[in-house]
Structures are given as structure tokens and as C-alpha cells.
């Protein structure tokens, strides 16, 4: 069975936008744990735009924060308003900040309960990034446990040297190294980026379904983030408790309602209803301690399989 997964470096434009969004969230949480933040970031070619809703007692200079990340040559536009009062009144009483379907997954293929092809792609990207800390991406195609094709493209790398590096990490039938040629223009100089555009990389790779919206830039009341983290926690628990090969968890919420309208798990294909957890946004926040400034760290190398509270 052929499976392919990709990964991108932290300097990829989309991931820089994710990092900016989560850095903004963290900055507000440092001062006010009750901050409500939902921001989107778009950047490219000398411009960064931050747009969204922020309700907080904290005072954060967003423009300065962004410039500290991307450098002083960028122009930054910030368009942020307070959270809609209609949404706020439901969240104030513990309801979900949005509707959505969240997916959690765990498997026994790797020590961190992630799909093997995904973990291989991520680890390879991390190893290359240590040598070439630039914009870049990798792709791994496997046939069962055999690696068929590796694709690696990294800014400011020499193809011959990059090939040697990749070969030292993974044996494959075929290597495609900088297949469009060596390149020196990358990041925001070459392309634009938007938060949430790498959701498959943020989650489990293309062979596991994803549910709701993106993660970055959103506080715990947005269940497309906190619910996805909780679904992963449940999947890991059930995998270990049942000595299973694979667990897929689905949670679904209605805006303004604290309890999910669906909470199911497939344990090696056997469906159960999930009942042993507090699945309200407040309950998830308490269990996973989601009112801490932890989010910038989640935005760069994937949200799962990295030892976070929801991976244990």
C-alpha cells in the first residue's frame, strides 16, 4: 500500500504566519489567562496583515511583536476588534465558541503514536533544517515499510550536499533533490502565506481525515483547536488501554453548547461512545492546561506526537 506524507520547515511562509498568530495568542495569555483570541495572519512580499477578534485585559503591541519575528523591513497592518457579543454571551457560560467536527488519532506504528510516513517526513525535515535553517519542504512516499521516493527542496542548499545529507538519514529507491533546481529566493520574498493552510501537516498527514478549521491563533474556547487536542488525548488513552493498533476519535460541537453533540471512537474498527471525559471547553482547558502561553511551540513542527499534554 502506497502512502505519502509531506512536511515543511518553520520558515515556510504559511508556517511563519501560524507562528505569528500563536505568538500573538501567547503574548495575551501571559498577561491575561482569560484572553479570547482568534486571529488570522497573511504575509508576503514586505507586508503582514493581522485580522481577527481579541477580547482581553492585556495590552500587547502587536505590530512590534510581528516585526520582532519577521524583521523591520515589513509593513504591518492590524485589524482587530472585540469578540462579537452574541458569541461572547454563549462562551461566558461555558459554551463552545464555534461549531465543528474534531478528529483525534493514534496508532501503534511509532513510539509517539503517529503514522509512520508522517513521522518519517517530519523527522527528515527537522534534520535538514538543522543544516539549512531556511524555507524548505520534504515529501516521503512509502510502500508498506519500504521508502520508495524522497523529495527534498531547501532554500540555499546545494543539491549534491543535500542529497548526501538525505541519504545519510533515509534509504530510498529514488531521491528527488531540488527537482526544480537550486533556489535562493524563498519565504515571504518568493511566496505569500496564510494561517491554517498547512492543516494536514499540523495534524496527522493526508491518510487521516481532518475535521474542523485551523488551530493557530485561537484560544481554547475555539473547539476546533481544543477539541482536536482532546480528541488526540482520548485516542492515545484508548490505544494504550486496549493494546490497539489504531484509534480514531470524532467530536462534534454546536456553538454556544458546552457538551459535544457527538463523541465516538473507532478502536481497530469497533465503534464506541466516549463517556469517561469532561468534554466541555472548560473541562478540556483544565485537563490540558490550555490557558498557558504554550502555543507558539505547537505551530512549527506539528501539533501532535511531540510530548504535549494531549500526547500522553
Asked if 123 and 179 sit in the same domain, the reply is: yes
- DSSP secondary structure string for all residues of 1-59: -EEEEEEE-TTSHHHHHHHHHHHHHHHHHHH-TT-EEEEEEEEETTEEEEEEEEE-S--
Residue 40 lies in a domain: no
d(CA 307, CA 216): 18
pLDDT on residue 86: 62
Asked if 161 and 236 sit in the same domain, the reply is: no
Q: Which three cell numbers stand for residue 100?
A: 465543528
pLDDT on residue 93: 72
pLDDT in tens, the chain (312 residues): 899 999 999 999 999 999 999 999 999 999 999 999 999 999 999 999 999 999 999 999 999 999 999 999 999 999 999 877 666 776 777 888 788 899 999 999 999 999 999 999 999 999 999 999 999 999 999 998 899 999 999 999 999 999 999 999 999 999 999 999 999 999 999 999 999 999 999 999 999 999 878 999 999 999 999 999 999 999 999 999 999 999 999 999 998 899 999 999 999 999 999 999 999 999 999 999 999 999 999 999 999 999 999 999
Residue 17 lies in a domain: no
Determine the structural domain holding residue 255 and report its residue range: 100-111+220-311
Asked if 127 and 158 sit in the same domain, the reply is: yes
Query: How many domains in the chain?
Result: 2
Distances (CA, A) of 129 to 11, 16, 126, 133, 278: 9, 15, 5, 5, 39
Residue 63 lies in a domain: no
Asked if 105 and 121 sit in the same domain, the reply is: no
- Spatial neighbors of 206 by CB under 8 A, at least 6 apart, are 4, 5, 6, 200
Asked if 229 and 105 sit in the same domain, the reply is: yes
Asked if 106 and 231 sit in the same domain, the reply is: yes
Residue 67 lies in a domain: no
Asked if 224 and 307 sit in the same domain, the reply is: yes
Residue 155 lies in a domain: yes
Residue 255 lies in a domain: yes
Residue 294 lies in a domain: yes
* CATH number of residue 265's parent domain: 3.30.300.10
Among 153, 137, 158, CA closest to 13:
137
Asked if 104 and 238 sit in the same domain, the reply is: yes
How many other C-beta atoms are found inside a 10 Å radius of the C-beta of residue 10? 18
Asked if 231 and 294 sit in the same domain, the reply is: yes
Asked if 147 and 105 sit in the same domain, the reply is: no
Last residue of a domain, one of 132, 164, 186: 186
Last residue of a domain, one of 128, 160, 186: 186
**How large is the C-alpha radius of gyration of the chain?**
20
The distance of Cα 54 from the centroid of its chain, to the nearest Å, equals 21
Asked if 151 and 285 sit in the same domain, the reply is: no
Asked if 226 and 161 sit in the same domain, the reply is: no
Residue 38 lies in a domain: no
pLDDT on residue 92: 74
Amino acid at each position: 500500500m502506497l502512502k505519502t506524507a509531506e512536511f515543511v520547515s518553520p520558515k515556510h511562509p504559511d508556517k511563519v504566519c501560524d507562528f505569528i498568530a500563536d505568538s500573538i495568542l501567547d503574548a495575551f495569555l501571559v498577561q491575561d489567562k482569560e484572553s479570547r483570541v482568534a486571529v488570522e495572519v497573511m504575509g508576503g512580499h514586505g507586508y503582514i496583515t493581522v485580522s481577527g477578534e481579541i477580547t482581553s485585559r492585556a495590552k500587547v503591541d502587536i505590530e512590534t511583536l510581528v516585526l520582532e519575528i519577521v524583521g523591520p523591513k515589513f509593513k504591518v497592518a492590524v485589524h482587530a476588534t472585540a469578540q462579537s457579543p452574541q458569541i461572547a454571551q454563549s462562551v461566558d457560560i461555558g459554551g463552545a465558541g464555534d461549531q465543528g467536527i474534531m478528529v483525534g488519532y493514534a496508532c501503534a506504528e511509532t513510539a509517539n503514536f503517529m503514522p509512520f510516513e508522517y513521522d518519517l517526513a517530519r523527522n527528515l525535515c527537522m534534520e535538514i533544517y538543522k543544516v539549512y535553517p531556511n524555507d524548505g519542504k520534504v515529501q516521503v512516499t512509502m510502500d508498506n515499510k519500504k521508502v520508495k521516493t524522497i523529495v527534498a527542496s531547501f532554500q540555499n542548499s546545494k543539491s549534491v550536499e543535500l542529497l548526501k545529507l538525505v541519504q545519510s538519514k533515509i534509504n530510498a529507491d529514488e531521491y528527488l533533490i531540488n527537482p526544480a533546481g537550486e533556489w535562493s529566493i524563498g519565504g515571504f520574498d518568493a511566496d505569500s502565506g496564510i494561517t491554517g493552510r498547512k492543516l494536514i501537516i499540523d495534524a496527522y498527514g493526508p491518510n487521516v481525515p481532518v475535521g474542523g478549521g485551523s488551530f493557530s491563533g485561537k484560544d481554547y474556547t475555539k473547539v476546533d483547536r481544543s477539541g482536536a487536542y482532546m480528541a488526540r488525548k482520548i485516542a492515545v488513552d484508548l490505544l494504550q488501554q486496549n493494546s490497539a493498533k489504531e484509534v480514531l476519535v470524532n467530536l462534534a460541537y454546536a456553538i454556544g453548547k458546552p457538551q459535544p453533540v457527538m463523541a465516538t471512537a473507532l478502536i481497530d474498527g469497533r465503534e464506541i461512545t466516549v463517556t469517561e471525559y469532561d468534554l466541555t471547553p472548560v473541562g478540556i482547558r483544565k485537563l490540558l492546561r490550555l490557558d498557558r502561553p504554550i502555543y507558539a511551540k505547537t505551530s512549527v513542527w506539528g501539533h501532535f506526537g511531540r510530548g504535549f499534554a494531549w500526547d500522553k
